[in-house]
C-alpha cells in the first residue's frame, strides 16, 4: 500500500507508487489489478487523447467502435495470435444471475450458459477483421484507415499501476491496404506519430526501432516501437506499430478485386498506445516533490495562491488574480485560483507541486502594493519576483521554456546512461547500473535468450532513427559477426 505523504521528512524515494496515489492520479480499485483514475489524472489522459486524436485525423484516420466481446472462435483463427493471448483472457460464460435458492444473495443461473463463450477483448484484431471482411470487396474500398478508442482486458499474473493493469484504456488503429509497401509505410508513419507525440508533448525522448522476433506482437510480421528510458535507467515500451502482413485477413478471408479483376488478400497494420503512457510520463519526470508535468499535457498550467490575513486583503488580491487569469487564459493556458481559506500558503504550494502544475503565482499584500508577483516553476523549483505587467506573455514564454527544459533534462539523462559496449564483462557491469547498451548481436534468438537469462536484459529494439549504428563488429555475447548495434536494457 502507498504511504501517506504528510511529512516533509518522509522519504519519497518510492516516487512512483506513492506519488500516483497521493497526486490524485489513480488508486487501486476493489477489482483485481484494475485502477480507478481520479479526475485530475483522467484530465491528463484526456489531454493525451485529444492530441493523439488530432494527429490521427491529420494522417487521414477516422474513429470507429467495435464490440467489447469477441466470440472465442474468432480469437483462435490466427494461430500465433491466440497463443500469445490465450493465457490472459477474461471469459464470459453466462448471461444471467438468479436469486440463490438458499437465500444467500445471487448466484449464476446455470440455465443461462452461453452457447459459445465470449472473450473480453485483449485487443481487437480478430473482431475487426471479421468486420472488415464485409467492408472490403474492391480495390476502391482501400485503404481502410480506422482507429478505435477503447478499453481492453488482459488478465496478467502480476499487475503494476499504469504499466500493467488488468484493464486499461488505449487506442488501436487497424488499417487495410492493397499492397505490402503501402502497409509498411503506414506502420512506419504511425510509429513516427508516436515518437513525435512522446518527444514534443510528453517531453520524453524515445528510440524508434524494430522489435526482435521474440518480442514481436503475436501475429505480426514486424513490430515497430518507441522505447523510453525511465529515471532508474530501465526501458519502457511506450507504443507499438505492427505490420501484420496478410496473417489476419487470410484468417478471416478478406479479399478484394484488384484493378485487373483478380482476387487478392489485403495487407494489414495495427498500432496502439495506452494509459501506460501515463506511467511513462510519471516515471520519466517526477521528483521527490511529486509529479512534473510538461505544459502541453498539464490540465492546469498556472496555480495562483493568494497570501492574506484579512478579508479585505483576500478580496483585493483575488480580484487582481481574476484580472490576470483572464489575461493568461487569453494566451491559451489554464489557470486555477486556489483561494481556499482553511489552508495556509505553504500547504497549497506543496500540494500543487505534488500534482505537477508547471508554474505558480503567489501574491500577497506587499506584491499588491508594489505591482509585483512571485512566479515559481515546478521543473526547477525556483522562484522569482516579477512585475505583473505583461503576465500573459511571461507565462507563455515560461511554458515553452519549461516544456523544452523537461525534455532536455530527460534527454541528457538518457544520453548519459547510454553507452557502446563491446565486451561481455562490461555488458554485465553496465546493465546492472541502469544503462541502455548499444552492442553488436549475432541476430539469433538463442543468443538473445541466453543474454536475458544471465542478465535480465532484453533487446529493446533494433533502432531505425538516429541511433542506427551500421558498422561491422562482433556479437557481445557469442563473438559471431554482426553488422549493426542494437539496444539492450532492462525493461518494465
Partner RNA sequence: CGGGAUGUAGCGCAGUUGGUAGCGUACCACGUUCGGGACGUGGGGGUCGUCUGUUCGAGUCAGAUCAUCCCGACCA
- For RNA, the binding residue among 184, 376, 438, 462 (CB under 7 A) is 376
Residue indicated by cell numbers 493568461: 328
Half-sphere exposure of 189 (CA within 13 A, CB side): 18
Q: Choose between 157 and 263: whose C-beta lies nearer to RNA.
A: 157
Cα 362 to Cα 305: distance, rounded to the nearest angstrom: 5
- Closest approach, Cβ 344 to RNA, in A, equals 4
439, 420 Cβ separation under 8 angstroms: yes
346 touches RNA by CB under 7 A: yes
217 touches RNA by CB under 7 A: yes
CA-angle at 38, arms to 358 and 403, nearest 5°? 20
Strand partners, 168: 152
For residue 442, the SS3 value is coil
Q: What's 8's DSSP letter?
A: T
Cα 60 to Cα 107: distance, rounded to the nearest angstrom: 48
Whether a cis peptide bond, with omega within 30° of 0, leads into 143 is yes
Q: Choose between 136 and 224: whose C-beta lies nearer to RNA.
A: 224
Query: Which listed range, 141-149, 178-186, 196-204, 381-389, lies at the site for RNA (CB under 7 A)?
Result: 381-389
Where are any strands of DSSP class E within 378-465?
383-387, 418-420, 436-440, 458-463
Query: Which listed range, 95-103, 346-354, 404-412, 475-483, lies at the site for RNA (CB under 7 A)?
Result: 346-354
Show the site string, 8-27: x = touches RNA by CB under 7 A, - = not.
x--------x----------
For residue 296, the SS3 value is helix
Query: Which listed range, 42-50, 124-132, 251-259, 268-276, lies at the site for RNA (CB under 7 A)?
Result: 268-276
The CB density around residue 250, as the number of other CB atoms within 10 Å, is 16
Show the site string, 232-261: x = touches RNA by CB under 7 A, - = not.
-----x--x---------------------
363 touches RNA by CB under 7 A: yes
- Closest approach, Cβ 401 to RNA, in A, equals 17
3 touches RNA by CB under 7 A: yes
Number of residues that bind RNA (CB under 7 A): 69
Cα 473 to Cα 470: distance, rounded to the nearest angstrom: 9
88 touches RNA by CB under 7 A: yes
Q: Choose between 67 and 345: whose C-beta lies nearer to RNA.
A: 345
163 touches RNA by CB under 7 A: yes
Q: Residues 6 or more apart from 172 whose CB is under 8 A from it?
A: 123, 124, 147, 148, 150, 152, 270, 271, 272
- Closest approach, Cβ 72 to RNA, in A, equals 19
Give the footprint of RNA on this chain (CB under 7 A): 1-8, 17, 28, 32-33, 84, 87-88, 154, 156-161, 163-166, 168, 215, 217-218, 237, 240, 274-276, 289, 307-310, 341-347, 349-351, 353-354, 360, 362-368, 373-374, 376, 381, 383, 385, 456, 491-492
Amino acid at each position: 500500500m502507498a504511504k501517506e505523504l504528510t511529512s516533509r521528512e518522509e522519504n519519497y524515494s518510492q516516487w512512483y507508487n506513492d506519488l500516483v496515489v497521493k497526486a490524485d492520479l489513480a488508486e487501486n480499485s476493489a477489482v483485481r489489478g484494475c485502477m480507478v483514475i481520479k479526475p485530475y489524472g483522467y484530465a491528463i489522459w484526456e489531454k493525451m487523447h485529444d492530441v493523439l486524436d488530432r494527429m490521427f485525423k491529420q494522417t487521414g484516420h477516422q474513429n470507429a467502435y467495435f464490440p467489447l466481446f469477441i466470440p472465442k472462435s474468432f480469437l483462435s483463427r490466427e494461430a500465433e495470435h491466440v497463443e500469445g493471448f490465450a493465457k490472459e483472457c477474461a471469459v464470459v460464460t453466462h448471461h444471467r444471475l438468479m436469486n440463490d435458492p438458499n437465500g444467500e444473495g445471487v448466484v449464476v443461473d446455470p440455465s443461462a450458459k452461453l452457447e459459445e463463450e465470449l472473450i473480453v477483448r485483449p485487443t481487437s484484431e480478430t473482431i475487426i477483421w471479421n468486420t472488415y471482411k464485409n467492408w472490403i470487396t474492391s480495390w476502391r474500398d482501400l485503404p481502410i484507415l480506422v482507429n478505435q478508442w477503447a478499453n481492453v482486458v488482459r488478465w496478467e499474473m502480476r499487475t503494476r499501476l499504469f504499466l500493467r493493469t488488468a484493464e486499461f484504456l488505449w487506442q488501436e488503429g487497424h488499417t487495410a491496404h492493397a499492397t505490402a509497401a503501402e502497409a509498411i509505410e503506414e506502420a512506419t508513419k504511425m510509429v513516427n506519430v508516436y515518437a513525435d507525440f512522446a518527444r514534443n508533448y510528453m517531453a520524453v525522448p524515445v528510440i524508434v526501432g524494430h522489435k526482435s522476433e521474440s518480442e514481436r506482437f503475436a501475429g505480426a510480421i514486424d513490430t515497430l516501437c518507441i522505447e523510453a528510458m525511465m529515471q532508474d535507467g530501465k526501458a519502457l515500451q511506450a507504443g507499438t506499430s505492427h505490420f501484420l502482413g496478410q496473417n489476419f485477413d487470410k484468417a478471416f478471408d478478406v479479399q478484394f478485386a484488384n484493378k485487373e479483376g483478380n482476387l487478392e488478400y489485403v495487407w494489414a497494420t495495427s498500432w496502439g498506445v495506452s494509459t501506460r503512457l501515463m506511467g511513462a510520463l510519471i516515471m520519466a519526470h517526477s521528483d521527490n516533490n511529486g509529479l512534473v508535468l510538461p505544459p502541453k499535457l498539464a490540465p492546469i498550467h498556472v496555480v495562483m495562491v493568494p497570501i492574506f490575513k484579512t478579508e479585505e486583503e483576500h478580496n483585493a488580491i483575488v480580484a487582481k488574480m481574476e484580472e490576470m487569469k483572464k489575461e493568461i487564459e487569453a494566451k491559451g493556458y489554464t489557470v486555477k485560483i486556489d483561494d481556499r481559506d482553511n489552508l495556509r500558503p505553504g500547504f497549497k504550494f506543496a500540494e500543487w507541486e505534488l500534482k505537477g502544475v508547471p508554474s505558480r503565482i503567489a501574491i500577497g499584500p506587499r506584491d499588491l502594493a508594489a505591482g509585483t508577483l512571485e512566479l515559481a516553476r515546478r521543473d526547477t523549483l525556483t522562484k522569482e519576483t516579477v512585475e505583473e505587467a505583461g503576465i500573459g506573455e511571461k507565462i507563455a514564454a515560461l511554458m515553452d521554456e519549461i516544456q523544452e527544459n523537461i525534455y532536455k533534462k530527460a534527454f541528457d539523462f538518457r544520453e548519459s546512461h547510454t553507452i557502446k559496449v563491446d565486451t561481455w564483462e562490461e555488458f554485465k557491469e553496465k546493465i546492472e547500473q541502469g544503462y541502455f547498451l548499444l552492442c553488436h548481436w549475432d541476430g539469433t534468438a538463442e543468443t538473445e535468450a541466453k543474454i536475458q537469462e544471465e542478465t535480465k536484459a532484453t533487446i529493446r529494439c533494433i533502432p531505425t532513427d538516429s541511433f542506427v549504428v551500421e558498422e561491422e563488429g562482433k556479437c557481445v555475447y557469442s563473438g559471431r559477426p554482426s553488422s549493426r548495434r542494437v539496444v539492450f536494457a532492462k525493461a518494465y
